[in-house]
A and B are shown apart, each in its own frame.
Chain A
Amino acid sequence: MKTLVLVEHDNSEMKDATLAAVTAAGKLGEVHLLVAGSNCRAVAEQAAKIAGVGKVHIADDSAYENSLAENVAPLVADLMGHHDAFVSPATTTGKNIAPRVAAMLDVMQISDILSVEGEKTFTRPIYAGNAIATVESSDEKLVITVRGTAFDKAEAEGGSAEIEEVSGPGDAGISSFVSSEIAEGGDRPELTSASIIVSGGRALKDGETFEEIIMPLADKLGAGVGASRAAVDAGYVPNDYQVGQTGKIVAPDVYFAIGISGAIQHLAGMKDSKTIIAINKDEDAPIFQVADIGLVADLFKAVPELTEKL
Protein backbone atom coordinates (compact mmCIF):
# COMPACT_ATOMS: atom_id res chain seq x y z
CA MET A 1 0.00 0.00 0.00
CA LYS A 2 1.23 3.50 -0.81
CA THR A 3 0.42 6.12 1.81
CA LEU A 4 0.50 9.90 1.64
CA VAL A 5 1.19 11.65 4.93
CA LEU A 6 0.36 15.32 5.43
CA VAL A 7 3.35 17.13 6.92
CA GLU A 8 2.38 19.58 9.65
CA HIS A 9 4.51 22.73 9.47
CA ASP A 10 4.56 26.51 9.58
CA ASN A 11 6.36 26.96 6.22
CA SER A 12 9.74 27.10 7.91
CA GLU A 13 9.81 24.11 10.26
CA MET A 14 8.22 20.71 10.35
CA LYS A 15 6.08 20.01 13.44
CA ASP A 16 6.71 16.96 15.62
CA ALA A 17 3.13 15.73 15.14
CA THR A 18 4.18 14.57 11.67
CA LEU A 19 6.50 11.92 13.11
CA ALA A 20 3.81 9.83 14.82
CA ALA A 21 1.71 9.93 11.66
CA VAL A 22 4.72 8.63 9.70
CA THR A 23 5.03 5.70 12.11
CA ALA A 24 1.34 4.86 11.71
CA ALA A 25 1.58 5.14 7.91
CA GLY A 26 4.66 2.90 7.93
CA LYS A 27 2.51 0.10 9.34
CA LEU A 28 0.38 0.30 6.20
CA GLY A 29 3.12 0.35 3.61
CA GLU A 30 5.33 2.71 1.65
CA VAL A 31 5.39 6.25 3.09
CA HIS A 32 5.24 9.36 0.91
CA LEU A 33 4.95 12.82 2.41
CA LEU A 34 3.20 15.96 1.26
CA VAL A 35 4.51 19.38 2.18
CA ALA A 36 1.90 21.89 1.02
CA GLY A 37 2.88 25.47 1.76
CA SER A 38 4.51 28.59 0.51
CA ASN A 39 8.28 29.02 0.44
CA CYS A 40 8.41 25.75 2.28
CA ARG A 41 11.48 24.14 0.69
CA ALA A 42 13.24 23.98 4.07
CA VAL A 43 10.36 21.93 5.45
CA ALA A 44 10.58 19.47 2.57
CA GLU A 45 14.33 19.11 3.13
CA GLN A 46 13.73 18.44 6.79
CA ALA A 47 10.95 15.96 5.99
CA ALA A 48 13.17 14.10 3.52
CA LYS A 49 15.46 13.17 6.39
CA ILE A 50 12.79 11.27 8.31
CA ALA A 51 13.75 7.61 8.45
CA GLY A 52 11.63 5.30 6.34
CA VAL A 53 10.22 7.90 3.96
CA GLY A 54 10.20 7.00 0.26
CA LYS A 55 9.41 10.32 -1.32
CA VAL A 56 8.49 13.90 -0.40
CA HIS A 57 6.01 15.79 -2.55
CA ILE A 58 6.28 19.52 -2.28
CA ALA A 59 3.52 21.85 -3.44
CA ASP A 60 4.90 25.35 -3.12
CA ASP A 61 2.19 27.90 -3.86
CA SER A 62 0.87 30.96 -2.01
CA ALA A 63 -2.56 29.27 -2.07
CA TYR A 64 -1.21 26.70 0.40
CA GLU A 65 0.52 29.13 2.74
CA ASN A 66 -2.08 28.98 5.50
CA SER A 67 -3.26 25.38 4.99
CA LEU A 68 -6.76 26.47 3.96
CA ALA A 69 -8.75 23.24 3.60
CA GLU A 70 -10.58 24.56 0.52
CA ASN A 71 -7.24 24.80 -1.30
CA VAL A 72 -5.25 21.90 0.17
CA ALA A 73 -7.96 19.21 -0.02
CA PRO A 74 -8.24 19.24 -3.85
CA LEU A 75 -4.45 18.98 -4.10
CA VAL A 76 -4.49 15.94 -1.83
CA ALA A 77 -7.46 14.42 -3.68
CA ASP A 78 -5.45 14.69 -6.94
CA LEU A 79 -2.42 13.00 -5.38
CA MET A 80 -4.68 10.23 -4.09
CA GLY A 81 -4.98 9.12 -7.71
CA HIS A 82 -1.76 7.22 -7.08
CA HIS A 83 -1.81 6.59 -3.33
CA ASP A 84 -3.95 4.15 -1.36
CA ALA A 85 -4.18 5.91 1.98
CA PHE A 86 -4.10 9.51 3.18
CA VAL A 87 -2.75 9.82 6.71
CA SER A 88 -2.72 13.00 8.74
CA PRO A 89 -1.89 13.85 12.33
CA ALA A 90 -5.05 14.54 14.37
CA THR A 91 -4.05 18.17 14.86
CA THR A 92 -6.45 21.01 14.18
CA THR A 93 -4.91 21.29 10.69
CA GLY A 94 -5.37 17.57 10.02
CA LYS A 95 -8.89 17.52 11.44
CA ASN A 96 -9.78 20.43 9.19
CA ILE A 97 -8.38 19.01 5.96
CA ALA A 98 -8.71 15.21 6.13
CA PRO A 99 -12.54 14.91 6.22
CA ARG A 100 -12.73 17.29 3.28
CA VAL A 101 -10.40 14.98 1.37
CA ALA A 102 -12.41 11.93 2.46
CA ALA A 103 -15.68 13.36 1.16
CA MET A 104 -14.05 14.33 -2.13
CA LEU A 105 -12.94 10.71 -2.51
CA ASP A 106 -16.28 9.36 -1.25
CA VAL A 107 -14.51 7.62 1.62
CA MET A 108 -15.51 7.40 5.29
CA GLN A 109 -12.63 8.75 7.38
CA ILE A 110 -11.27 6.83 10.34
CA SER A 111 -10.58 9.48 12.99
CA ASP A 112 -7.91 9.49 15.65
CA ILE A 113 -6.59 5.94 15.30
CA LEU A 114 -4.82 4.31 18.23
CA SER A 115 -3.46 1.28 16.41
CA VAL A 116 -3.23 -0.45 13.06
CA GLU A 117 -4.66 -3.95 13.39
CA GLY A 118 -4.67 -5.01 9.77
CA GLU A 119 -4.61 -3.61 6.27
CA LYS A 120 -7.98 -1.93 6.77
CA THR A 121 -8.60 -2.48 10.47
CA PHE A 122 -7.89 0.05 13.18
CA THR A 123 -8.77 0.88 16.75
CA ARG A 124 -10.06 4.30 17.72
CA PRO A 125 -11.50 5.90 20.86
CA ILE A 126 -15.20 6.74 21.07
CA TYR A 127 -17.29 8.26 23.87
CA ALA A 128 -14.44 10.37 25.23
CA GLY A 129 -12.15 7.36 25.28
CA ASN A 130 -14.50 5.41 27.54
CA ALA A 131 -14.71 2.79 24.80
CA ILE A 132 -12.30 1.61 22.14
CA ALA A 133 -13.83 0.55 18.83
CA THR A 134 -12.20 -1.80 16.35
CA VAL A 135 -13.31 -0.71 12.88
CA GLU A 136 -12.77 -2.23 9.48
CA SER A 137 -13.09 -0.11 6.36
CA SER A 138 -14.70 -1.35 3.16
CA ASP A 139 -13.58 1.70 1.17
CA GLU A 140 -11.06 1.25 -1.59
CA LYS A 141 -8.91 4.12 -0.34
CA LEU A 142 -8.31 5.04 3.26
CA VAL A 143 -8.38 8.42 4.95
CA ILE A 144 -7.04 8.35 8.48
CA THR A 145 -6.11 10.78 11.24
CA VAL A 146 -3.61 9.62 13.83
CA ARG A 147 -3.60 10.22 17.56
CA GLY A 148 -0.07 11.42 18.26
CA THR A 149 0.23 9.89 21.72
CA ALA A 150 -0.58 6.40 20.43
CA PHE A 151 2.41 5.97 18.11
CA ASP A 152 6.14 6.37 18.64
CA LYS A 153 7.78 9.18 16.75
CA ALA A 154 9.63 8.19 13.61
CA GLU A 155 13.35 9.03 13.64
CA ALA A 156 13.70 12.58 12.36
CA GLU A 157 17.15 11.84 10.92
CA GLY A 158 18.60 9.06 8.83
CA GLY A 159 16.47 9.15 5.70
CA SER A 160 17.28 10.73 2.34
CA ALA A 161 14.07 10.74 0.37
CA GLU A 162 13.83 12.33 -3.03
CA ILE A 163 11.86 15.59 -3.22
CA GLU A 164 9.40 15.92 -6.06
CA GLU A 165 7.54 19.08 -6.99
CA VAL A 166 3.82 18.75 -7.51
CA SER A 167 1.13 21.29 -8.19
CA GLY A 168 -2.57 21.37 -7.59
CA PRO A 169 -5.56 23.48 -8.54
CA GLY A 170 -4.29 26.33 -6.33
CA ASP A 171 -6.70 28.86 -4.88
CA ALA A 172 -10.33 27.70 -4.85
CA GLY A 173 -11.33 31.33 -4.44
CA ILE A 174 -13.97 30.79 -1.75
CA SER A 175 -11.98 31.45 1.41
CA SER A 176 -9.11 33.60 2.54
CA PHE A 177 -6.81 33.82 5.49
CA VAL A 178 -7.19 37.03 7.50
CA SER A 179 -4.91 36.80 10.52
CA SER A 180 -3.69 34.62 13.30
CA GLU A 181 -2.98 35.06 16.96
CA ILE A 182 -0.47 32.32 17.60
CA ALA A 183 1.15 32.65 20.99
CA GLU A 184 4.93 32.50 21.01
CA GLY A 185 5.75 29.54 23.19
CA GLY A 186 8.90 31.14 24.60
CA ASP A 187 11.10 28.57 26.31
CA ARG A 188 8.21 26.47 27.49
CA PRO A 189 7.86 23.06 25.86
CA GLU A 190 4.88 22.55 23.59
CA LEU A 191 2.02 20.75 25.28
CA THR A 192 1.79 17.72 23.00
CA SER A 193 5.51 16.97 23.17
CA ALA A 194 6.36 18.00 26.76
CA SER A 195 7.60 15.24 29.04
CA ILE A 196 6.16 16.99 32.10
CA ILE A 197 2.91 18.96 32.13
CA VAL A 198 1.47 21.10 34.89
CA SER A 199 -2.25 21.74 34.40
CA GLY A 200 -4.53 23.99 36.39
CA GLY A 201 -8.30 24.05 36.72
CA ARG A 202 -11.16 26.27 37.75
CA ALA A 203 -9.81 26.46 41.31
CA LEU A 204 -7.06 28.82 40.13
CA LYS A 205 -9.51 31.76 40.38
CA ASP A 206 -8.24 34.03 37.58
CA GLY A 207 -5.49 34.54 35.04
CA GLU A 208 -3.22 36.34 37.44
CA THR A 209 -3.50 33.65 40.10
CA PHE A 210 -2.97 30.91 37.50
CA GLU A 211 0.21 32.70 36.44
CA GLU A 212 1.40 33.12 40.05
CA ILE A 213 0.72 29.55 41.16
CA ILE A 214 1.16 27.31 38.12
CA MET A 215 3.92 28.98 36.10
CA PRO A 216 6.68 28.94 38.77
CA LEU A 217 6.16 25.20 39.29
CA ALA A 218 6.19 24.59 35.54
CA ASP A 219 9.34 26.71 35.17
CA LYS A 220 11.10 24.80 37.92
CA LEU A 221 10.28 21.48 36.23
CA GLY A 222 10.79 22.66 32.66
CA ALA A 223 7.20 21.63 32.09
CA GLY A 224 4.52 22.49 29.56
CA VAL A 225 1.38 24.15 30.88
CA GLY A 226 -2.16 22.88 30.35
CA ALA A 227 -5.62 23.58 31.70
CA SER A 228 -9.12 22.24 32.08
CA ARG A 229 -11.97 23.56 29.97
CA ALA A 230 -13.29 25.48 32.97
CA ALA A 231 -10.00 27.37 33.31
CA VAL A 232 -9.99 28.19 29.58
CA ASP A 233 -13.66 29.21 29.48
CA ALA A 234 -13.07 31.54 32.42
CA GLY A 235 -10.22 33.14 30.49
CA TYR A 236 -7.33 32.23 32.84
CA VAL A 237 -5.37 30.91 29.84
CA PRO A 238 -5.81 30.78 26.04
CA ASN A 239 -7.93 28.10 24.31
CA ASP A 240 -4.96 26.08 23.08
CA TYR A 241 -4.09 25.14 26.69
CA GLN A 242 -7.18 22.94 26.97
CA VAL A 243 -6.48 19.27 27.60
CA GLY A 244 -9.31 16.80 27.01
CA GLN A 245 -11.79 15.05 24.77
CA THR A 246 -12.31 18.16 22.72
CA GLY A 247 -8.94 19.81 23.35
CA LYS A 248 -5.42 18.42 23.22
CA ILE A 249 -4.56 14.80 23.91
CA VAL A 250 -1.38 14.46 25.94
CA ALA A 251 0.56 11.58 27.45
CA PRO A 252 3.64 12.97 29.20
CA ASP A 253 5.83 11.09 31.68
CA VAL A 254 4.39 13.19 34.49
CA TYR A 255 1.08 15.07 34.51
CA PHE A 256 0.15 17.38 37.38
CA ALA A 257 -3.59 18.05 37.74
CA ILE A 258 -3.94 20.98 40.11
CA GLY A 259 -7.40 22.09 41.20
CA ILE A 260 -8.97 19.94 38.50
CA SER A 261 -11.89 17.70 39.47
CA GLY A 262 -11.33 15.00 36.84
CA ALA A 263 -14.46 15.11 34.63
CA ILE A 264 -14.52 12.37 31.98
CA GLN A 265 -13.90 14.97 29.28
CA HIS A 266 -10.68 16.03 31.00
CA LEU A 267 -9.54 12.47 31.72
CA ALA A 268 -10.03 11.66 28.02
CA GLY A 269 -7.10 13.96 27.23
CA MET A 270 -4.55 12.88 29.83
CA LYS A 271 -5.25 9.45 31.27
CA ASP A 272 -2.52 7.82 29.20
CA SER A 273 0.12 9.87 31.02
CA LYS A 274 2.74 7.66 32.69
CA THR A 275 2.43 9.17 36.14
CA ILE A 276 -0.48 11.36 37.21
CA ILE A 277 -0.16 13.59 40.25
CA ALA A 278 -3.25 15.29 41.61
CA ILE A 279 -3.52 18.11 44.09
CA ASN A 280 -7.07 18.81 45.16
CA LYS A 281 -8.68 19.86 48.42
CA ASP A 282 -11.59 17.46 47.93
CA GLU A 283 -10.49 13.95 48.84
CA ASP A 284 -13.41 12.53 46.85
CA ALA A 285 -12.56 14.33 43.62
CA PRO A 286 -12.69 11.81 40.73
CA ILE A 287 -9.19 12.80 39.63
CA PHE A 288 -7.86 10.73 42.57
CA GLN A 289 -9.29 7.58 40.95
CA VAL A 290 -6.73 7.85 38.17
CA ALA A 291 -3.90 9.57 40.04
CA ASP A 292 -0.78 7.61 40.95
CA ILE A 293 0.08 10.12 43.62
CA GLY A 294 -2.55 12.25 45.30
CA LEU A 295 -2.22 15.11 47.73
CA VAL A 296 -5.35 16.34 49.47
CA ALA A 297 -4.51 19.94 50.19
CA ASP A 298 -5.30 23.56 49.51
CA LEU A 299 -3.38 24.24 46.34
CA PHE A 300 -2.71 27.85 47.29
CA LYS A 301 -0.53 26.57 50.13
CA ALA A 302 0.69 23.28 48.67
CA VAL A 303 1.83 24.39 45.23
CA PRO A 304 4.06 27.31 46.30
CA GLU A 305 5.55 25.05 48.98
CA LEU A 306 6.19 22.33 46.40
CA THR A 307 7.81 24.80 44.01
CA GLU A 308 10.01 26.02 46.84
CA LYS A 309 11.11 22.55 47.95
CA LEU A 310 11.87 21.06 44.57
Chain B
Amino acid sequence: MKILVPVKRVIDYNVKPRVKADGSGVDLANVKMSMNPFDEIAVEEAIRLKEAGKADEIVAVSIGPAKAQETLRTALAMGADRAILIETDDDVEPLGVAKILKAIAEEEKPGIVMLGKQAIDDDSNQTGQMLAALMGRPQGTFANTVEVDGDSVTVKREVDGGLETVKLTMPAIVTTDLRLNEPRYASLPNIMKAKKKPLDTKAPSDYGVDIAPRLKTTNVSEPPVRQAGDKVEDVDALVAKLKSLGVA
Protein backbone atom coordinates (compact mmCIF):
# COMPACT_ATOMS: atom_id res chain seq x y z
CA MET B 1 0.00 0.00 0.00
CA LYS B 2 1.11 3.50 -0.80
CA ILE B 3 0.67 6.48 1.53
CA LEU B 4 0.43 10.01 0.18
CA VAL B 5 1.47 12.72 2.64
CA PRO B 6 0.72 16.38 1.77
CA VAL B 7 3.11 18.70 3.61
CA LYS B 8 2.87 22.47 3.77
CA ARG B 9 5.66 24.98 4.25
CA VAL B 10 4.54 27.43 6.94
CA ILE B 11 5.93 29.94 9.42
CA ASP B 12 7.86 28.11 12.15
CA TYR B 13 5.62 27.58 15.18
CA ASN B 14 8.14 29.29 17.46
CA VAL B 15 7.97 32.57 15.57
CA LYS B 16 5.50 35.22 16.62
CA PRO B 17 3.75 36.40 13.44
CA ARG B 18 3.78 40.15 12.72
CA VAL B 19 1.04 41.86 10.79
CA LYS B 20 2.21 44.20 8.02
CA ALA B 21 1.46 47.84 8.66
CA ASP B 22 -0.47 48.23 5.40
CA GLY B 23 -2.95 45.51 6.35
CA SER B 24 -2.00 43.32 3.40
CA GLY B 25 -0.97 40.26 5.37
CA VAL B 26 1.57 38.79 7.74
CA ASP B 27 5.22 39.65 7.25
CA LEU B 28 7.07 36.52 6.15
CA ALA B 29 10.24 38.20 4.87
CA ASN B 30 13.28 36.71 6.62
CA VAL B 31 11.08 34.65 8.90
CA LYS B 32 12.01 31.06 9.73
CA MET B 33 9.79 28.64 7.80
CA SER B 34 9.27 24.95 8.60
CA MET B 35 7.07 22.00 7.83
CA ASN B 36 3.60 22.42 9.34
CA PRO B 37 3.89 20.55 12.68
CA PHE B 38 0.80 18.42 12.03
CA ASP B 39 2.35 17.33 8.72
CA GLU B 40 5.49 16.18 10.53
CA ILE B 41 3.20 13.99 12.59
CA ALA B 42 1.64 12.69 9.35
CA VAL B 43 5.05 11.88 7.84
CA GLU B 44 6.05 10.11 11.05
CA GLU B 45 2.87 8.04 11.10
CA ALA B 46 3.36 7.00 7.49
CA ILE B 47 6.92 5.93 8.28
CA ARG B 48 5.74 3.91 11.27
CA LEU B 49 3.15 2.16 9.09
CA LYS B 50 5.88 1.35 6.61
CA GLU B 51 8.17 0.11 9.36
CA ALA B 52 5.34 -2.09 10.61
CA GLY B 53 5.02 -3.63 7.15
CA LYS B 54 1.60 -2.07 6.51
CA ALA B 55 2.79 0.29 3.79
CA ASP B 56 5.45 -0.03 1.14
CA GLU B 57 5.88 3.46 -0.27
CA ILE B 58 5.54 7.00 1.06
CA VAL B 59 5.10 9.89 -1.35
CA ALA B 60 5.30 13.44 0.06
CA VAL B 61 3.57 16.25 -1.84
CA SER B 62 3.70 19.99 -1.40
CA ILE B 63 1.94 22.79 -3.18
CA GLY B 64 3.87 26.01 -2.81
CA PRO B 65 6.88 28.09 -3.84
CA ALA B 66 10.22 26.65 -5.01
CA LYS B 67 11.39 26.81 -1.39
CA ALA B 68 8.84 24.17 -0.45
CA GLN B 69 11.49 21.80 -1.82
CA GLU B 70 13.19 22.18 1.54
CA THR B 71 10.04 20.99 3.26
CA LEU B 72 9.90 17.99 0.94
CA ARG B 73 13.58 17.24 1.58
CA THR B 74 12.78 17.21 5.29
CA ALA B 75 10.04 14.66 4.65
CA LEU B 76 12.48 12.60 2.56
CA ALA B 77 15.12 12.82 5.29
CA MET B 78 12.62 11.60 7.85
CA GLY B 79 11.88 8.58 5.66
CA ALA B 80 9.54 9.37 2.76
CA ASP B 81 10.57 7.61 -0.48
CA ARG B 82 9.91 10.29 -3.06
CA ALA B 83 8.40 13.72 -3.39
CA ILE B 84 6.32 15.87 -5.71
CA LEU B 85 6.40 19.65 -5.68
CA ILE B 86 3.56 21.48 -7.37
CA GLU B 87 5.27 24.77 -7.74
CA THR B 88 3.33 28.03 -7.54
CA ASP B 89 3.88 31.42 -5.97
CA ASP B 90 0.15 31.95 -5.58
CA ASP B 91 -1.64 31.16 -2.35
CA VAL B 92 -3.75 28.13 -3.05
CA GLU B 93 -6.81 27.79 -0.83
CA PRO B 94 -7.72 24.45 0.81
CA LEU B 95 -10.36 23.76 -1.88
CA GLY B 96 -7.74 24.25 -4.62
CA VAL B 97 -5.19 22.16 -2.72
CA ALA B 98 -7.78 19.41 -2.32
CA LYS B 99 -8.49 19.46 -6.06
CA ILE B 100 -4.81 19.11 -6.92
CA LEU B 101 -4.39 16.36 -4.32
CA LYS B 102 -7.36 14.50 -5.79
CA ALA B 103 -5.72 14.58 -9.23
CA ILE B 104 -2.47 13.27 -7.74
CA ALA B 105 -4.31 10.57 -5.82
CA GLU B 106 -5.94 9.42 -9.04
CA GLU B 107 -2.46 8.91 -10.51
CA GLU B 108 -0.77 7.49 -7.45
CA LYS B 109 -3.67 5.44 -6.06
CA PRO B 110 -2.63 5.59 -2.40
CA GLY B 111 -4.42 3.45 0.20
CA ILE B 112 -4.22 6.32 2.67
CA VAL B 113 -3.76 10.05 2.24
CA MET B 114 -2.38 11.29 5.56
CA LEU B 115 -2.69 15.05 6.13
CA GLY B 116 -2.30 17.38 9.06
CA LYS B 117 -5.57 18.41 10.70
CA GLN B 118 -4.71 22.08 10.35
CA ALA B 119 -2.11 24.35 8.81
CA ILE B 120 -0.87 26.71 11.52
CA ASP B 121 -0.84 29.71 9.17
CA ASP B 122 -4.37 29.78 7.71
CA ASP B 123 -5.83 27.68 10.57
CA SER B 124 -8.45 26.40 8.10
CA ASN B 125 -8.78 22.75 9.14
CA GLN B 126 -10.45 21.85 5.84
CA THR B 127 -8.17 20.27 3.25
CA GLY B 128 -8.42 16.62 4.36
CA GLN B 129 -12.19 16.70 4.69
CA MET B 130 -12.50 18.40 1.29
CA LEU B 131 -10.22 15.87 -0.36
CA ALA B 132 -12.28 13.04 1.14
CA ALA B 133 -15.47 14.59 -0.26
CA LEU B 134 -14.00 15.12 -3.72
CA MET B 135 -12.76 11.53 -3.81
CA GLY B 136 -15.96 10.16 -2.30
CA ARG B 137 -13.87 8.40 0.33
CA PRO B 138 -14.14 8.19 4.14
CA GLN B 139 -12.27 10.48 6.53
CA GLY B 140 -10.69 9.88 9.92
CA THR B 141 -10.02 13.39 11.15
CA PHE B 142 -8.05 14.46 14.26
CA ALA B 143 -6.40 11.05 14.58
CA ASN B 144 -5.00 9.95 17.92
CA THR B 145 -4.34 6.34 16.85
CA VAL B 146 -4.30 4.74 13.39
CA GLU B 147 -4.48 0.99 12.81
CA VAL B 148 -4.41 -0.58 9.38
CA ASP B 149 -5.95 -4.00 9.05
CA GLY B 150 -6.46 -5.54 5.62
CA ASP B 151 -8.51 -3.14 3.54
CA SER B 152 -9.76 -1.05 6.42
CA VAL B 153 -8.24 1.52 8.73
CA THR B 154 -9.44 2.14 12.27
CA VAL B 155 -8.94 5.65 13.54
CA LYS B 156 -9.33 6.80 17.11
CA ARG B 157 -10.25 10.50 16.90
CA GLU B 158 -9.77 13.36 19.35
CA VAL B 159 -13.22 14.93 19.71
CA ASP B 160 -14.67 17.59 22.01
CA GLY B 161 -15.91 15.16 24.65
CA GLY B 162 -12.96 12.75 24.55
CA LEU B 163 -12.19 10.04 22.01
CA GLU B 164 -14.19 8.34 19.28
CA THR B 165 -13.25 5.35 17.13
CA VAL B 166 -14.35 4.90 13.52
CA LYS B 167 -13.61 2.21 10.97
CA LEU B 168 -13.03 3.30 7.37
CA THR B 169 -12.89 1.34 4.14
CA MET B 170 -9.69 2.12 2.26
CA PRO B 171 -8.73 4.14 0.32
CA ALA B 172 -9.23 6.57 3.17
CA ILE B 173 -8.19 10.04 4.26
CA VAL B 174 -6.68 10.55 7.71
CA THR B 175 -5.82 13.85 9.39
CA THR B 176 -3.44 13.91 12.33
CA ASP B 177 -3.83 15.35 15.81
CA LEU B 178 -1.07 16.15 18.29
CA ARG B 179 -1.11 12.92 20.28
CA LEU B 180 -0.75 10.57 17.31
CA ASN B 181 3.03 10.30 17.70
CA GLU B 182 6.20 12.24 18.33
CA PRO B 183 7.94 12.90 15.03
CA ARG B 184 11.57 11.83 14.73
CA TYR B 185 14.43 14.13 13.84
CA ALA B 186 16.18 13.35 10.61
CA SER B 187 19.71 12.09 11.23
CA LEU B 188 22.63 13.62 9.33
CA PRO B 189 23.22 10.53 7.17
CA ASN B 190 19.52 10.49 6.30
CA ILE B 191 19.61 14.17 5.39
CA MET B 192 22.48 13.37 3.01
CA LYS B 193 20.63 10.39 1.57
CA ALA B 194 17.51 12.48 1.09
CA LYS B 195 19.32 14.69 -1.38
CA LYS B 196 19.45 11.77 -3.78
CA LYS B 197 15.82 10.73 -3.44
CA PRO B 198 13.56 11.61 -6.39
CA LEU B 199 11.75 14.96 -6.26
CA ASP B 200 9.49 15.76 -9.22
CA THR B 201 8.44 19.30 -9.95
CA LYS B 202 5.10 20.03 -11.59
CA ALA B 203 2.83 23.01 -12.12
CA PRO B 204 -0.81 23.35 -11.05
CA SER B 205 -1.70 23.60 -14.74
CA ASP B 206 -0.45 20.01 -15.21
CA TYR B 207 -3.52 18.86 -13.32
CA GLY B 208 -6.07 20.92 -15.17
CA VAL B 209 -8.05 21.88 -12.09
CA ASP B 210 -9.56 25.23 -11.22
CA ILE B 211 -7.64 26.70 -8.29
CA ALA B 212 -8.70 30.32 -8.66
CA PRO B 213 -9.26 31.74 -5.17
CA ARG B 214 -12.84 32.04 -3.97
CA LEU B 215 -12.08 34.23 -0.99
CA LYS B 216 -10.63 37.69 -1.19
CA THR B 217 -8.73 38.91 1.84
CA THR B 218 -9.49 42.60 2.01
CA ASN B 219 -7.61 43.34 5.20
CA VAL B 220 -5.37 41.72 7.80
CA SER B 221 -5.19 43.46 11.14
CA GLU B 222 -3.65 43.02 14.53
CA PRO B 223 -6.06 41.69 17.19
CA PRO B 224 -6.73 43.95 20.17
CA VAL B 225 -3.68 43.83 22.44
CA ARG B 226 -4.16 42.95 26.06
CA GLN B 227 -2.37 45.09 28.59
CA ALA B 228 -0.44 43.33 31.29
CA GLY B 229 -2.13 43.95 34.64
CA ASP B 230 -0.69 44.03 38.11
CA LYS B 231 1.29 41.50 40.02
CA VAL B 232 0.14 40.84 43.54
CA GLU B 233 2.51 40.20 46.43
CA ASP B 234 1.01 37.10 47.92
CA VAL B 235 -1.98 34.81 48.14
CA ASP B 236 -3.81 37.12 50.54
CA ALA B 237 -3.59 39.95 48.04
CA LEU B 238 -4.85 37.61 45.31
CA VAL B 239 -7.78 36.55 47.48
CA ALA B 240 -8.65 40.20 48.09
CA LYS B 241 -8.56 40.90 44.34
CA LEU B 242 -10.73 37.89 43.61
CA LYS B 243 -13.25 39.03 46.21
CA SER B 244 -13.37 42.48 44.66
CA LEU B 245 -14.08 40.83 41.32
CA GLY B 246 -16.96 38.93 42.88
CA VAL B 247 -15.22 35.58 42.48
CA ALA B 248 -15.72 33.55 45.66
Contacts and interface: CB of A to CB of B under 8 A. Distances in A.
B169 A177 contact: no
A182 B161 contact: yes
Contact of B220 (A132, A192, A288): A132
Interface residues of A, number: 91
A135 B215 contact: yes
Interface in A76-97: 91-93, 95-97
A102 B94 CA distance: 11
B133 A73 contact: yes
Interface string A47-78: 00000000000000000001011100100000
Given A132-B220, A175-B138, A294 B231 contact: yes
A247 to B, nearest CB: 9
Interface stretch (B1-9, B59-67, B194-202, B240-248): B240-248
B212 to A, nearest CB: 9
A137 B127 CA distance: 17
Interface in A265-310: 265, 271, 275-277, 283, 288-297, 302, 305-306, 309-310
Nearest to B23: A134
B99 to A, nearest CB: 9
B26 A108 contact: no
A248 B169 CA distance: 30
Interface string B118-139: 1011111111111111101111
Contact of B160 (A129, A240, A309): A240
A93 B160 contact: yes
Interface stretch (A22-30, A35-43, A231-239): A231-239
25 contacts: A92-B159, A99-B127, A103-B134, A109-B130, A111-B126, A126-B26, A127-B121, A134-B219, A134-B220, A135-B216, A137-B214, A138-B214, A174-B168, A175-B169, A180-B161, A180-B163, A182-B163, A229-B178, A232-B179, A239-B158, A245-B120, A265-B13, A290-B228, A293-B229, A294-B228
Interface of A: 66, 68-70, 73, 91-93, 95-104, 106-112, 121, 125-139, 172-183, 192, 196, 220-221, 229, 232-233, 238-240, 242, 245-246, 248, 253-254, 264-265, 271, 275-277, 283, 288-297, 302, 305-306, 309-310
